[in-house]
Structure 1
Amino acid sequence: MQISDYLDDIARSTGFLSRLPVPAHYFNDHDGSLSRASGMFPAAGIVIALCPALVVLILSMLGANAAMASLLALMLLIGVTGALHEDGLADSADAFGARGGRAHMLEIMKDSRIGTYGVLALMVSFALRAIALTIILSVFGGWYTCLLLLAVAAISRASMVWHWNELPPARQDGVAASVGTPDDSAKTFALASGGILFLAIAGLAIGWIPAVLALAIMAVAVQQWTSIVRKRLGGHTGDTIGATQQITETAGLATLALLV
């Protein structure tokens, strides 16, 4: 692959995972498949989290309250992604929390309404991330919090590829199925690049031992979530992939905050 191919894949991944404007020429004469481009999800994660991370840095330099800076950064991150991953978390929580078989779970995931389990999942996820960011920002300051946001953004997008590749599609008419399953080479590249980026950035910010421990916790969380989805649903959906990102991000930030 040439450098231009990597740039194309980053642009297509960014366009798929966010509402950031991506020039149309990256999609001209493209079949819409993300089988190869998904390998660049970690790089796309850094692009997506860059503005929220800079907001944390700038507000910290201006002496803003840590809690307020963290909330504003999370709000901006949700705006950049269009709450894509939060929607997946809420739909997955409603489906897996409800009683019923596989068909009923898939039906719940297609329902645009949100239930009690979905609301609670969003509340817990947002609260944990906001509190964790506040703690990290209070202890390490703006520069290192900025770096940690980028590190978690990279590894949480890599985890999506892992979950996506490990399971077959739960239904053939979903968004995830329509863009193809990540190639094994794309999964390997995503996990390798995401892991290296996380360890390099987080290790620089707070030290190697906390970085390795946080990476291990996130890996266990994704593995357990994937096992639950395999057992209950038999395959992935766009919602379970989005939930994977949220689970990884929440687990990562919470672990880092506990280790400071």
Structure 2
Amino acid sequence: MKARDFITDVMHSVAFLSRLPVPARFFQDADGVSMRRTARAFPAAGLLIALPAAFLVVMFTSFDASPQLTSWLAIALAALMTGALHEDGLADTADGFGGGRDKARMLEIMKDSRIGSYGTIAMVLSFALRATALGSLVETLPGKTAAAGLIAALVLSRALMVWHWQSLPAAKTSGIAAGAGQPGPGERNVALTIGGLLFILFTLHALPLLSIALVLAAAVLAALLFARLCERKIGGHTGDTIGASQQITEIVTLVALALTA
């Protein structure tokens, strides 16, 4: 793996997963740079996407701001960085799985840009659970340590979304995910390795190894169970379920960190 190619993949991942500006030079001579290859850099892109929210946590805790105010603003900023890309996927998936009677109807509902009752509940729960868990970390840990936990959750969840994408077939032949291709085992393994190592790096100073292992196990189990649900409901993945997998594993990771910290 060439360092230059990987840096290009990171920048393409940042452009795909967020609203952060990326220099145009990374898109010059981009022939051959496919989303299949770029997916291996999703966890590294997650690190860059998480930095503004992590900085907000450090800054607000230095002024002794309310933990709940700090956490809600940090989660809101993280969503702003992505244009609520993954939250939208979670909402569409919840509407489809909750309101559809069969695969065809579920996919039809998920394609609809309007958000229904199930999607609204899913988004409210997502923000509430993440903000509450992060607020617990802010309240019990130093600001820099809580910020590191947030980074760890955002990185790990983007590694597991690559696993979700690679482990399931496409549920339909059209759409962004189907058109982008599918990461192979090599790209999946790179993403999982980077995500796992970065997660350990950002949590090792705050948690014992056993706690780190338990948090990782909880996140992996959540990803596995959600993948099985997608397989049963629609026979594979869509762009919406990929986004939903990021949200679900981020929630579980933050909650598990709050319980073990």
SS where residue 169 of structure 2 aligns? coil
Question: 1:37: how far off?
Answer: 1.3
Are positions 1:91 and 2:75 aligned together? Answer: no
Which residues in structure 2 correspond to 1:101-250 (within 5 Å)? 101-250=102-251
Counterpart residue number, 1:16: 16
Report how many residues are paired: 260
Q: Is the 8 A contact 1:89 1:121 kept in 2?
A: yes
Alpha-carbon distance in structure 2 between the residues aligned to 1:143 and 1:209: 22
Q: TM-score, normalised by structure 1?
A: 0.97
Counterpart residue number, 1:71: 72
Alpha-carbon distance in structure 2 between the residues aligned to 1:99 and 1:11: 37
Alpha-carbon distance in structure 1 between the residues aligned to 2:100 and 2:188: 33
Counterpart residue number, 2:30: 30
Q: Decide which moves more: 197-206 or 53-62.
A: 197-206
Q: Is the 8 A contact 1:203 1:210 kept in 2?
A: no
Q: Deviations over 1:115-173 (max 9, x none)?
A: 11111111111111111011100000211011111111111000110000011111222
Q: Is the 8 A contact 2:100 2:109 kept in 1?
A: no
Tell me which stretches of 4 or more aligned residues in structure 1 moved more than 4 Å.
Answer: none
Alpha-carbon distance in structure 1 between the residues aligned to 2:102 and 2:170: 17
Structure 2 counterpart of 1:7, one-letter code: I
Question: 1:114: how far off?
Answer: 0.6
Q: TM-score, normalised by structure 2?
A: 0.97
Q: In percent, how many aligned pairs have the same letter? A: 46
Alpha-carbon distance in structure 2 between the residues aligned to 1:74 and 1:115: 22
Alpha-carbon distance in structure 1 between the residues aligned to 2:223 and 2:99: 21
Q: Decide which moves more: 207-216 or 149-158.
A: 207-216
